Amino acid sequence: MNKVALVIPVYNRPEYVKQCFESLTALTVKPDMVVIVDDGSTEIMPEHPWRSLVKEQGYIWRMLGTNHGVKHALMIGIEDAITAGADLIITLDSDTLVKPDFIERLVRLHDRQKMIVSGFNNPKEKIIKLLDSCAVKAHANGINMCFNREQYEKHIKPALQAKSGNWDYMASESAGSVAITIPSCVQHIGLKSSMGHIGADVAHDFKRLSLPNVTLFGIDGHDVAGINRAAEISQRDIQFGAVNIITKDLFRKGTNEQRREDYSRFMLKELYKHFSTSHVLTIHADGYVLNCEAWNPEWLQYDYIGATWWYKDGRNVGNGGFSLRSKKLCDLLAEHHLDYLHPEDYHICRTYRPALEQLGIKFAPAEVADRFSIEAYGVPSPDNRYSGSFGFHGPHVDMSMLPKDLQYRKK
């Protein structure tokens, strides 16, 4: 049985290091040893909260007095691991996140392919050929590599000892090709590099959050580009159980108000047909996921969550444009006769709420809805500013603090 070592070079950027080590605490298979080499950091202080994670997990800590560069730190860590008896070494940059099955997938792929392997699928590197659950490429990023002692001596060590050049490129060239997990089990989060430049490669097939019980749903035959963009943004960090985006125009060619009425009827009487998971997350061109880290699995105990309104009578949850609804709720709405259909979210959450609650439907409390989404209709600045909720809905939300690619684009 191979003895597996995880080697992590660290240099400053404590905000990334903390996220990296927190993701490591969820590993389903632990490495036999973890070697952390602090390459003379000046920003990470001993009292920083993530230090406790190192002690709890029993990591090996190596502190270097001055900064010598990542290649030197990697060599120190790898040599320490080999001296301690490691047969298989996995390197990992400290500005990454890993999936819980990160170790087992890399070990399994290395055992099967007998090649240098990586869990980071850089879309910039072309695929030479596809194999079972992996891609063979000419190069792997130094963000993450997995290799045995022989591969280290033959390919990795000479590249790390080179006085110039990218060690990961040279090691890959020496090996001839590398195997990459599909999908990625490593994600690069360090937009600010340890050398100061901005911008980083990211794995497009790495999903931070898995929601197998939630279907992502949208319907818009009018603004097709907008709803598709909303769906793409919502899926950047989330693997949904299913995705159903309808761009066929199913509503009347009448006035905007008539089309909105048709939409309301669809959401009340037809939505249940379009998903089979326990919940559905409805999105619009102007309402979608912005922060996957805000998700709380306890939200699945509720049958309806939407951004709060201004009402003060206990029925202020909430907006349906970006909302989480249960199959139970959608089935009940379709089954029962409803005198009022439009606006659909108003009648679900205000007109019919008492009757629905008697049937066992649970509406999220306002404090949960506020963490879920923001609508901000009629809300003055600065209270209309987006502040980290799971998503948003509507053009009234101040999104100026967000990256431009996430901001709502008005037609």
CATH number at residue 48: 3.90.550.10
Q: Which of these, 263, 231, 261, lies nearest to 249 by C-alpha position? A: 263
E strand or H helix that includes residue 332:
helix 327-335
Q: Which domain holds residue 225?
A: 209-406
Residues found in the chain: 411
pLDDT over 50 (residue 195): no
72 and 154, same domain (yes or no): yes
- Quick one: pLDDT at residue 197? 43
Higher pLDDT, 144 or 406: 144
252 and 170, same domain (yes or no): no
d(CA 40, CA 68): 8
On whether the pTM is more than 0.85, the answer is no
Q: What does DSSP say about strands 60-64 and 279-282: parallel, antiparallel, or unpaired? A: unpaired
What is the chain's mean pLDDT, rounded? 91
Cβ neighbors of 168 (< 8 A, separation 6 or more) are 139, 140, 141, 142, 145, 159
Mean pLDDT, residues 149-165 taken together: 96
DSSP-derived letter for residue 182 is S
172 and 216, same domain (yes or no): no
215 and 141, same domain (yes or no): no
Is-contact 381 398, C-beta < 8 A?
A: yes
The number of C-alpha atoms within 13 Å of 400 and in the hemisphere containing its C-beta is 6
State percent of the chain over pLDDT 90.
73
- Quick one: pLDDT at residue 252? 75
User: Hey, how many other C-beta atoms are within 10 angstroms of the C-beta on 359?
Assistant: 12
214 and 184, same domain (yes or no): no
- Quick one: pLDDT at residue 46? 54
Mean pLDDT, residues 34-51 taken together: 75
- Quick one: pLDDT at residue 49? 58
How many independent structural domains does the chain possess? Answer: 2
State percent of the chain over pLDDT 70.
93
User: Hey, how many other C-beta atoms are within 10 angstroms of the C-beta on 406?
Assistant: 15
User: Hey, how many other C-beta atoms are within 10 angstroms of the C-beta on 402?
Assistant: 15
169 and 239, same domain (yes or no): no
d(CA 274, CA 215): 9
Domain membership of residue 142 (yes or no) is: yes
Q: Which of these, 281, 282, 345, 283, lies nearest to 311 by C-alpha position? A: 345
- Quick one: pLDDT at residue 159? 97
pLDDT class of 330 with cuts at 50, 70, 90: very high
pLDDT class of 273 with cuts at 50, 70, 90: very high
Mean pLDDT, residues 369-380 taken together: 94
Which range among 10-19, 75-84, 271-280, 288-297 shows the weakest confidence by mean pLDDT? 10-19
- Quick one: pLDDT at residue 48? 58
- Quick one: pLDDT at residue 331? 98
CATH of the domain at 312: 3.90.550
For 167-178, what is each residue's pLDDT tens digit?
A: 999 999 999 999
338 and 262, same domain (yes or no): yes
Higher pLDDT, 39 or 86: 86
Tell me if residue 144 falls in helix, strand or coil: strand
Domain membership of residue 38 (yes or no) is: yes
What's at 66, amino acid-wise?
T
Cβ neighbors of 245 (< 8 A, separation 6 or more) are 216, 217, 218, 219, 227, 228, 231
Domain membership of residue 204 (yes or no) is: no
Cβ neighbors of 160 (< 8 A, separation 6 or more) are 71, 72, 74, 75, 167, 171
User: Hey, how many other C-beta atoms are within 10 angstroms of the C-beta on 43?
Assistant: 12
154 and 267, same domain (yes or no): no
User: Hey, how many other C-beta atoms are within 10 angstroms of the C-beta on 363?
Assistant: 23
Q: Which of 155, 188, 221 is the last residue in one of the domains? A: 188
Q: Which of these, 156, 358, 344, lies nearest to 264 by C-alpha position? A: 344
For 52-110, what is each residue's pLDDT tens digit?
A: 666 676 777 777 877 788 999 999 999 999 999 999 999 999 999 999 999 999 999 99
User: Hey, how many other C-beta atoms are within 10 angstroms of the C-beta on 90?
Assistant: 27
Q: Which of 125, 154, 188 is the last residue in one of the domains? A: 188
- Quick one: pLDDT at residue 198? 47
Domain membership of residue 39 (yes or no) is: yes
298 and 163, same domain (yes or no): no
What is the gyration radius of the CA atoms in the chain, in angstroms?
25
- Quick one: pLDDT at residue 137? 97
- Quick one: pLDDT at residue 60? 79
